[in-house]
Amino acid sequence: MSANDGSAESRRQFLSFLASTPVLAGSGLVPYFASALASAQDLPADLIRAAEEALNVFAFEPVAKDRMLPVHYGYTASGTDDEETLRANREGFQKYRLRVRRLIDVRNVDTSTEVFGQRIDNPIMLAPVGGQGKYHVEGEVASARAARVGGHTQILSTATSQTVEDVTAARGAPIWFQLYPSNYWHVAEALAKRAEQAGCPVVAVTVDRASPRNMETLERYRRADTTNCNACHTFGPPAERLRDRAMYRGIDLDGIESLQASGLTWDFVDRLKSATSMRVMLKGIVTAEDAALCLQYGVDGIIVSNHGGRSEASGRSTIETLPEIVAAVNGRIPVIVDGGFRRGSDIFKALALGADAVCIGRPYVWGLGSFGQAGVERVLEILRTEFERVMKECGVTSVAQINSSYIERA
């Protein structure tokens, strides 16, 4: 071993000790040392070493896995039960084929579109992903800066590591807020009011969290991880775990026994719409019947989602669910979809099936965990480039031209 190799190894061991020692618990320095440790690690020869080397979004996952703590990677990768729904989200795209047209001038392509009457640069949104500080020291702020570069709409999770105010400032434009409702109205109301005061025009209520999730992949990684998590996580009752989270500070959490929204009903929609001027979307709608009820209860928009395969063992992909939702709402409210998006062709297929926009989750988290803001920027750049290329392949020059004539069942 050379002197330089010995020095690097000593640095890695020292940073590893700092990242796991209980002495630093609650200091705010743990994410910094975890990030420094990641940058100190030599990547295996078969992994990309810089964000610009990536040819597609898949190149980021093994790098993120190498640099994340095992339990954090396990949380990100995990679905529910045997992960049939997680796999279905990817496999669903193979059940549709594109119908391409020829002899069309596609020298000038416009990827902009409109949602809620607002023009946006492209239909690729950042899905809400909680606790991004476990992937990189700048967390959601780094993602926001990357979204700003590419002109992407960002949806911030209730479980964010950074405040809605800081993320909005980093994005340089209003962001959307995702709300975990729980069974405690005063908590939901306080979260919604703070998001509204921060300038969020839309609140997306997650409605697929009625019971705890069985995340077996996460549990396997947790058992294999020897990291002392007391340094960066608070354990105990829900109230204790939430007190130091960015969006829960200042909220009365006494007596909260569960974070699950097991008592959530359609009455919540009426109550929330009366309490906020933000547009109210429901995230987690996967059937035509519930889509019809969304219209009945005045919901402003739908995000077709199964929480990335984490909230249900249905085995149904969101891309296959999408057509019945689109048919049920018949253009009266926007329909957005997430789940398994990895390619520009995936995005085109969703728009051809009637979606107004798509959300991506895991790919930009892989980028964040690999190279921070630069990784997220590159992931989004790849998806924008692929999407524009597929538009040209199919012979369309604007998002408005994409319709069902460009797609068929395989």
The full DSSP string for 297-328 is TT--EEEE--GGGTS------HHHHHHHHHHH
pLDDT tens-place string over residues 225-237: 888 766 566 667 7
pLDDT tens-place string over residues 311-365: 899 999 999 999 999 999 999 999 999 999 999 999 999 999 999 999 999 999 9
Residue 160, pLDDT above cutoff 90: yes
Per-residue pLDDT, 35: 52
* pTM: predicted TM-score of the whole model, two decimal places: 0.90
CA distance 299 to 283: 11
Which helix H or strand E contains 293, and what residues bound it?
helix 288-296
Per-residue pLDDT, 234: 62
Q: What is the DSSP letter of 134?
A: G
Per-residue pLDDT, 42: 72
In 17-156, beta strands by DSSP E: 96-98, 113-115, 118-120, 124-126, 155-156
Question: How many percent of the chain have pLDDT more than 90?
Answer: 79
Q: Which of 402 and 14 is assigned the larger pLDDT?
A: 402
Per-residue pLDDT, 232: 60
Tokens 């020059």 identify what position?
397
Q: What is the mean pLDDT of the chain?
A: 90
Task: State how far the alpha carbon of 118 is from the alpha carbons of 113, 164, 170, 175, 202, in Å.
Answer: 8, 21, 20, 13, 12
Domain boundaries, the chain: 1-42, 45-409
Q: Which residues, in sequence order, are bridge partners of residue 279?
A: 202
As annotated, the active-site residues are 307
The average pLDDT across 37-58 equals 84
**Which residues neighbour 187 within 8 Å (Cβ) at sequence distance 6 or greater?**
248, 251, 253, 256
The average pLDDT across 1-25 equals 47
Residue 25, pLDDT above cutoff 80: no
Q: How confident is the model at residue 39 (pLDDT cuts 50, 70, 90)?
A: low
Angle (deg, nearest 10), helices 362-371 and 60-67: 60
Per-residue pLDDT, 3: 43
Tell the CATH superfamily of the 45-409 domain. Aldolase class I (3.20.20.70)
pLDDT tens-place string over residues 178-231: 999 999 999 999 999 999 999 999 999 999 988 888 999 999 999 988 887 665
Per-residue pLDDT, 240: 79
Per-residue pLDDT, 5: 45
Nearest of 235, 218, 161, 231 to residue 16 by alpha carbon = 231
Which helix H or strand E contains 64, and what residues bound it?
helix 60-67
